[in-house]
Structures are given as C-alpha cells and as structure tokens.
Amino acid sequence: MDGVGDTLSGQAGLLTELLAEVANPILKELGISRATFDLISAVAGAGDASQAELARRLGVAPATMSEAIQKTIQAGLIERSPDPADARLKRVSLTVQGRAVIRTIFQSIKAAEREAVERIPAEDWENALRTLRTLNRSLAEIIAKKSQNS
C-alpha cells in the first residue's frame, strides 16, 4: 500500500465522491444544494439531533450550522423542537416534506448502487458489507473509548 487510494479513507473518499456525482442530477431537479443535502442526510441519519451534534457530524462551526439550519427550516425540510432532557437545547428533525425529499434522493442513489453491485458476485458483496459493518463498529468503539479517556 503506497498511495492514498490504497487506504480505507482513500477508497471511502472516492466512493463518497462518486455517490455525490450520482446524486447531483436529482439534487438539481429538486433544487437542493449539496450543503442542504448533507444537512438533511445528517438529520436523517441521527433521527433527531442537537445543533452541536450536527455541526460535529458535518465538521462545521456551530455558527455555520445555525445559519444552515435556519435556511433549511425556511425551506420546510427540517424543524426544531425542545429537547425533552434539557429545555435550553433544541432538537432538529426532518419534516414530512424533508423525509419525502431525502427518500427521493436516496432512491436515486440506491438505483445507481444496485446497478454497480450487479457487477459484483453476490458472495463478494455480502463479505464486503459484513466487513464494512464490522469496521464501522470497531471504529465507533475506538472513538468512544478515546472520548471516555479524554
């Protein structure tokens, strides 16, 4: 392994770039920016999340996240609600419209994924998925352990 392309992060980055290219036509058709898609995807992945959690997930400053959230609320894709555990905090979740938009985008991405996967033998694909799930769990455990030690 000599180059970035030979690393897990290099391959994951390339896959992310290619999937982004797949999503671009449907984003354009729906009038959704890449930043808005990233935000609503993060919200969809979290179920609901605080602004700080979303900023961390997306690697942006809280002030930047606040502005993005406000714009996305105005677009009717997400909403804020009080955090049941701490009234000072707000949780962000998808609206009905936001769920419909994300579903449409993911259907487009999944169609492209299916086409790509058809070229991979079923056994290889199942092994790849199993390995990725294990790797994700392992990395999450490492991060959690380091967080506890900090």
Q: pLDDT tens, 75-120?
A: 999 999 998 888 888 899 999 999 999 999 999 989 988 888 899 9
pLDDT score, position 147? 81
Same domain, 113 and 139: no
Q: Are 58 and 39 in contact (CB under 8 A)?
A: yes
Same domain, 103 and 131: no
**Residues facing residue 81 across a β-bridge:** 91
Same domain, 107 and 134: no
pTM value is 0.75
Same domain, 114 and 81: yes
pLDDT band at residue 70 under the 50/70/90 scheme: very high
CATH number of domain containing 9: 1.10.10.10
The mean pLDDT of 46-50, rounded to a whole number, is 87
pLDDT score, position 1? 47
Residue 10 and residue 37: Cα distance in Å, rounded?
A: 22
Same domain, 10 and 76: yes
Please give the tally of structural domains in the chain.
Answer: 2
Residues 6+ apart with CB under 8 A from 54: 39, 42, 43, 46, 65, 69, 92
Same domain, 44 and 57: yes
Residue 70 and residue 80: Cα distance in Å, rounded?
A: 9
Same domain, 130 and 112: no
pLDDT score, position 3? 62
Range(s) of the domain holding residue 40: 4-119
**Residues facing residue 36 across a β-bridge:** none
Q: Are 44 and 96 in contact (CB under 8 A)?
A: no
Same domain, 130 and 115: no
**pLDDT: which is higher, 124 or 16:** 124
8-state DSSP, 120:
S
